[in-house]
Amino acid sequence: MTDTTAAAPHHSWFHRNRKTITPWLFLLPGILFFSVYVIYPIIQSINLSFYKWDGLGEAEYVGTANYERLASDRAFTVSLFNNMKWLLLYLLAIPAGLFIALFLNQTVRGIRIYKSLFFFPFVISQVVVGLVFTWFYDPNFGLLNGILGAVGLGPINVLGDPALATYGIIAAGLWPQTAYCMILYLTGLNAVDPEQIEAARLDGAKGWRMLWHIIIPQLKPATFIAFVVTIIGALRSFDLISIMTNGGPFGSTRVLSFYMFEKALSEYGFRMGYGAAIAVVLFFIMLFFIAYFLWSMYQDEKGR
Amino acid sequence: MRSMKKLMLAGLAATTMLSSSAFAEGLSGELRVFSDMSNPAPRAVMEGMVERFGAMHPDLDIELTVIDREAYKTQIRNFLTADAPDVANWYAANRMGPYVNAGLFEDISDLWAEPEFAALASTKGAMTIDDKQWGVPYTYYQWGVYYRQDIFEELGLTAPATFEEELANCEKIVASGRACYTIGSKFLWTAGGWFDYLNMRTNGYDFHMQLARGEIEWTDDRVRETFANWRKLIDMGGFIEDHQTYSWQEALPFMINGDATAYLMGNFAVPHFRDGGLTDDQLGFYQFPVINPDVPMAEDAPTDTFHIPANAQNKEAAREFLRFIVSADNQTLINAGDALGQLPVNAESSVDDDKFLEAGFNMLSNDAPGGVAQFFDRDFSAEMAKAGMEGLQEFMVYPDNLDDILERLEFVRQDTAE
């Protein structure tokens, strides 16, 4: 433009440092939103967990009282234990998804329709999945008891039995989650190297050996993603519980996220500090997995 | 949402502009009403009230916002502090405690001192905290046992007046292959109704209220006696199976199909029975029977209310609106069978010509000398109510767990008492 700009570049601070500044400029919106909507609330929640507050009046500092009470709260123990059940059993979605993907990974007429049908449960809302399974389990008119009755087994009330209810909900959750893993594996299978399969075949590998030594190692990226989404899905299990049992019977199907909601935000709740303490515990469980995911991704990147 | 925000902004502007002239003759300015009367019939009632009040005060600009009844229960906390309307719905007794204690409801003892309010004496206690009144009632409804008259006749039974008769009836009903009572306890509160009645009949209203206020231990022998009475019905198979899986609506078909013969419920269930095809000849009502003849009969009659938030802008108009709501004529109109179908609180109102409304009105006016309770989840503190109802549900499924349940409830009581 003018000769000042023509002469300036070598002296302008921005131009001298633009290699360092530009990435930060691009990151700035992300950092800003991440700190305001993620980092700050985390700090706030941790802080709140040391207070007793009903959400209306003055918050009263109580030190670690909320955590001490958690230790003796049986509902909390039940929720924590249920979270573990969810984490373990939800992982079944990964092998199940893999086998459906292998089964569907063929070229026959109309395969796209079958794939869509298998993917369907993931597309519909969790609320609908919950309702469908609630009716499936219904002790009166449910399909499950119809089937059990036909083979001479007594009626069971899955969602009404504290020993079974959590497993019943997890089974409902596995339906869409399996579909999700399936689609991840279907994409992964497209990337499997046909030459390696050919070579393995020449060496006489087939069936389980082929799957275990040739296919699955090549699906490692898909398995990693499936693992991540399944763990996160298990920890987020809220809607199904809310729809199917509402935490009952007598609190036996609550998980930490549901218990936190009940204590802090539901009709009979508004113990914000106590809810925050539950949230902090849940946060550290999640942090454990997130740290592991980040670490393994970092290892991957480093290896390249 | 956008339009609502716009309206609110407009409302805010209007109130600030006009607040100076609000003290002039007649009511003017803006009156903002937040209501939880979101079901079709209550919504029509609310809109009708606003319309009629608006016609009486043409200079007043009334803005009504109806919020979903369940969502309202959490939203009220936000709008009372952040963006308070001039009038808001809520519930009586302990349920309004948190807002009263946080100074978010206006003290309206001055209204209650007016002579017209004497007609509302029956609920004055439920509206009082710290000797001051914090809201006005617009409706309440009775609880009691709705039963299949036709099945009772078929089995040669009559409505029981005492618990012994009740147990004898139940034995015959169970022998005929039916359950005595339907109940859906998935959302817990229905079990609270059973406890209220059994405890008020076994130990009386005063004891029940002491328990509600946390003054009595859950492990007290008198509480155990209540549960022992309850257990008699449970052990004989009096309740339908798997009730922990059903909502209260899902439990209705058992009674409509005749698989169960009675339902301890609030009067709001009557339209559902009628929609299900039960005629007034088939459906009967009786007061929960006497258990301990030494304690006077007391009833549950949850009262729904209107309040003025402490941060309201147009309190003068709000007070006038509350006077209008409690007036005998208005309460007659809004509680009619084709409107809310409930009971007016104003003693000078008349009750609609309906079998169940008349029975309820008669029961609450003449046969409830012990007192009128609000309901388990309104009389007990929120935390105690939640834990309590969960325990009650567990007791109904596993009565053997009673000791463990009572110890847990006692733990919560001590914890909330701190």
Domains with residue ranges and CATH for chain B: 2-139+304-362 (3.40.190.10), 143-300+381-417 (3.40.190.10)
Interchain proximity A139–B393, CB inside 8 Å: no
Give the pLDDT of residue B20: 36
How many Cβ atoms are within 10 Å of A250's Cβ, its own excluded? 27
Q: Do B187 and A246 make contact, defined as CB atoms within 8 angstroms?
A: yes
Nearest residue of chain A to residue B253 (CA atoms): A140
Inter-chain contact B393–A249, Cβ cutoff 8 Å? yes
- Phi, psi (rounded to 5 degrees) for B145: -100, 115
Q: CB neighbours (10 Å) of residue A164? A: 17
Spell out which residues of chain A touch residue B81, defining contact as CB-CB under 8 Å.
56
pLDDT of res. B16: 41
pLDDT of residue B203: 96
Show the CA angle centred on residue A70, arms to residues A66 and A76, nearest 5°: 140
Kindly report the backbone phi and psi dihedral angles of residue B125, in degrees, each rounded to the nearest multiple of 5, phi listed first: -60, -40
Nearest residue in chain B measured CA to CA from A57 = B102
Low-confidence ranges of chain A (pLDDT < 70): 1-11, 304
CA distances in angstroms from A286 to A87, A279, B156, listed in the order given = 11, 10, 63
- The chain B residue lying nearest A69, using CA atoms, is B415
DSSP state, B24? S
In A, minimum Cα distance to B81 occurs at A56
pLDDT at residue B15 is higher than 60: no
Contacts of B68 in chain A (CB under 8 A): none
Looking at per-residue pLDDT, the higher value among B390 and A207 belongs to B390
- Any idea where the domains of chain A sit in the sequence? 3-48, 73-303
The per-residue pLDDT for range B251-264, each reduced to its tens digit, is 999 999 999 999 99
User: What per-residue confidence (pLDDT) applies to A280?
Assistant: 95
Distance from CA of B366 to the nearest CA of A (A): 33
pLDDT tier at B210 (50, 70, 90 boundaries)? very high
Q: Do B397 and A250 touch (CB under 8 A)?
A: yes
Q: Does B74 touch chain A (CB under 8 A)?
A: yes
**What are the C-alpha distances in Å from B136 to residues A142, B120, B334?**
46, 9, 15
A152 or B304: which carries more pLDDT confidence? B304
Mean pLDDT for all residues in chain B = 89
Instruction: List CB contacts (< 8 A) between A54 and chain B.
Output: 98, 102
Using an 8 Å CB-CB cutoff, list residues of chain A that contact chain B.
Answer: 54-57, 69, 74, 138-140, 157, 159-160, 245-246, 248-251, 262, 265-271
- pLDDT reading at B365 higher than 90: no
Q: Is the pLDDT of residue B2 over 80?
A: no
Write down the pLDDT at residue B86: 95
* B410 Cβ under 8 Å from any chain A Cβ: no
Which residues 6+ apart lie within 8 Å of B179 measured at CB?
B173, B237, B238, B239, B240, B241, B254, B259, B260, B261
Cross-chain Cβ contact B186/A245 below 8 Å: yes
A141 to chain B: which residues are within 8 Å by CB?
none
Q: Do A248 and B101 touch (CB under 8 A)?
A: no
Question: Where does A73-303 sit in CATH, by number?
Answer: 1.10.3720.10
Cβ–Cβ gap A54/B188 under 8 Å: no
**Best residue in A54, A250, A258 for a mutation probing chain B (most B CBs within 10 Å):** A250
Partners of residue B182 in chain A, C-beta under 8 Å: none
Report CB contact under 8 Å: B393, A74.
Answer: no
Is residue B212 within 8 Å of B94, Cβ to Cβ?
Answer: yes
CA distance B283 to chain A (A): 24
**Residues of chain B contacting residue A249, judged by C-beta atoms under 8 Å apart:** 244-245, 393-394, 397
All residues of chain A having their beta carbon less than 8 Å from the beta carbon of residue B408 are 74
Distance from CA of A159 to the nearest CA of B (A): 7
Q: Give CA separation, A250 vs A157, A229, B118, B177, in Å.
A: 15, 30, 43, 28
- Bigger pLDDT: B5 vs B409: B409
A contacts of B186 (beta carbons < 8 Å): 245-246, 248
Q: For residue B70, what is the nearest residue in chain A, using CA coordinates?
A: A267
Residue B19 has a pLDDT of 39
pLDDT of residue B23: 40
Torsions phi, psi for B89 (to 5 deg): -75, 150
Residues A214 and A200: beta-carbon distance below 8 Å: yes
Q: Is the ipTM of this complex over 0.90?
A: no
Mean pLDDT of the region B97-106: 90
**Cβ separation of B186 and A246 shorter than 8 Å?**
yes
Least confident of B17-21, B44-48, B72-76: B17-21
CA dihedral for B42, B48, B54, B56, sign (positive or negative): negative
Higher pLDDT, B416 or B51: B51
Q: How far apart are CA B206 and CA B215, in angstroms?
A: 11
Distance from CA of B149 to the nearest CA of A (A): 25
Residue of A nearest to B412 (CA): A73
Q: How many whole angstroms separate alpha carbon A257 and alpha carbon B363?
A: 45
- Written as one letter, the residue type at B63 is E
Smallest Cβ–Cβ distance between B74 and the set A139, A262, A265 belongs to A265
> What are the structure tokens assigned to A191, written together?
């990337």
Asked, as a colleague might, if the bond just before B344 is cis with ω within 30 of 0, I would say no
φ, ψ for residue B262 (rounded to 5)? -150, 165
Q: What is the pLDDT of residues B103-132, one digit of tens each?
A: 999 999 999 999 989 888 888 888 999 999
**Continuous segment of H or E residues that includes residue B140:** strand B136-140
Residues of A77-114 as b/e, b for ≥16 C-beta within 10 angstroms? ebbbebbebbbebbbbbbebbbebbbebbeeeeeeeee
**Measured between CA atoms, how close is A265 to chain B, in angstroms?**
7
Please judge whether B393 and A269 are an interchain contact, meaning their C-beta atoms are less than 8 angstroms apart: no
Q: Tokens in use for B153?
A: 């006749």
Provide, as residue numbers in chain B, all residues whose Cβ is less than 8 Å from the Cβ of A250: 244, 390-391, 393-394, 397
Q: CB B186 to CB A248 under 8 A?
A: yes
Q: Residue B242: its chain A contacts at CB < 8 A?
A: 139-140, 157, 160
Task: Residue count of chain B, please give it.
Answer: 418
Chain A touched by B257 (CB under 8 Å): no
- Average pLDDT value for residue range B193-219: 95
Cα separation, B114 vs B120, whole angstroms: 11
